[in-house]
């Protein structure tokens, strides 16, 4: 995945302390609530909700937390009026950043993100100012389960995938956003293990910066990740 993604940050905190786990569960709960609100609480018809519940279980999110989040989405329980938000910005070294999240107060979250960027040598950008540098794709991280890269390529192409890449020892299958679940299902049926599957923003071209700016960017990403509303962070930083 290009640049920085929240999924990787979360993966690094599976054994985090209780406070960190609480924040992760809170963020996952919000995503589950939104998914249930948009397409209902039945996992047989809501594929996105099913995938999110599986992901939540991987992180040992308590069953009652998951059920409560679903009921908030379907209206069976009272909850905050949540909405999706997306911000664009520039970080140290002129790196372009997209920050997607879920909030119950857009104006408050906007102020918080603006402040975080300002504190870390970055700035908020207007709508569309950096998004044109990215494209929307589905991304599936695959465990080969004993199969070869060539096997994966054949299976993925037949399933309708657009691209297959090996990055840092991991294999990723890329799809059109609308084909993500269909391709994921075929890969699973062929015996491949799916570690992660989600749509995301991918930089058309990645940009290199010096070590000093890279360190500043890492601190910025960490500060953004700490914000309760931010779910995913994407950049055009070359890893």
Q: Is the pTM of this model over 0.85?
A: no
CA–CA dist 52, 57 (Å, integer): 9
Tell me what the mean pLDDT of segment 135-142 comes to: 92
Tell me what the mean pLDDT of segment 41-55 comes to: 86
CA–CA dist 96, 238 (Å, integer): 11
Q: Give the model's pLDDT for residue 17.
A: 64
Q: Is 179 buried (19+), middle (13-18) or exposed (0-12) by CB count in 10 A?
A: middle
Mapped onto helix, strand or coil, the DSSP state of residue 114 is: helix
Question: What are 162-214's pLDDT values in tens digits?
Answer: 999 888 778 999 999 999 989 999 999 998 888 888 889 999 999 999 999 99
Least Cα distance to 60 among 5, 4, 1, 10 occurs for: 10
CA–CA dist 217, 212 (Å, integer): 9
Which strands, in side-by-side order, build the sheet including 96-103?
123-125, 83-90, 96-103, 230-235
Token pair 């908030």: residue: 72
Least confident among 167-171, 227-231, 232-236: 167-171
């Amino acid at each position: 995945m290009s640049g920085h993604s929240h999924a990787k940050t979360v993966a690094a905190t599976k054994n985090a302390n209780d406070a960190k786990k609480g924040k992760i569960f809170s963020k996952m709960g919000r995503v589950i609530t939104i998914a249930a609100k948009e397409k209902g609480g039945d996992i047989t018809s809501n594929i996105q909700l099913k995938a999110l519940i599986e992901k939540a279980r991987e992180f040992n999110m308590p069953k009652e937390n998951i059920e409560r989040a679903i009921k908030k989405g379907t209206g069976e329980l009272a909850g905050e009026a949540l909405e999706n938000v997306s911000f664009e910005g520039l970080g140290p070294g002129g790196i372009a950043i997209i920050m997607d999240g879920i909030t119950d107060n857009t104006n408050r979250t906007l102020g918080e993100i603006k402040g975080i960027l300002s504190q870390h040598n970055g700035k908020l950008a207007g709508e569309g100012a950096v998004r044109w540098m990215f494209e929307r794709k589905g991304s599936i991280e695959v465990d080969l389960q004993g199969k070869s890269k060539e096997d994966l390529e054949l299976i993925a192409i037949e399933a309708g995938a657009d691209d297959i890449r090996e990055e840092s020892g991991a294999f990723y299958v890329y799809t059109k956003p609308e084909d993500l679940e269909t391709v994921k299902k075929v890969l699973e049926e062929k015996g491949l293990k799916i570690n992660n599957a989600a749509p995301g923003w991918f930089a058309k071209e990645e940009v290199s910066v010096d070590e000093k700016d890279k360190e500043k960017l890492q601190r910025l990403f960490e500060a953004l990740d700490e914000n309760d509303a931010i779910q995913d962070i994407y950049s055009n930083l070359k890893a």
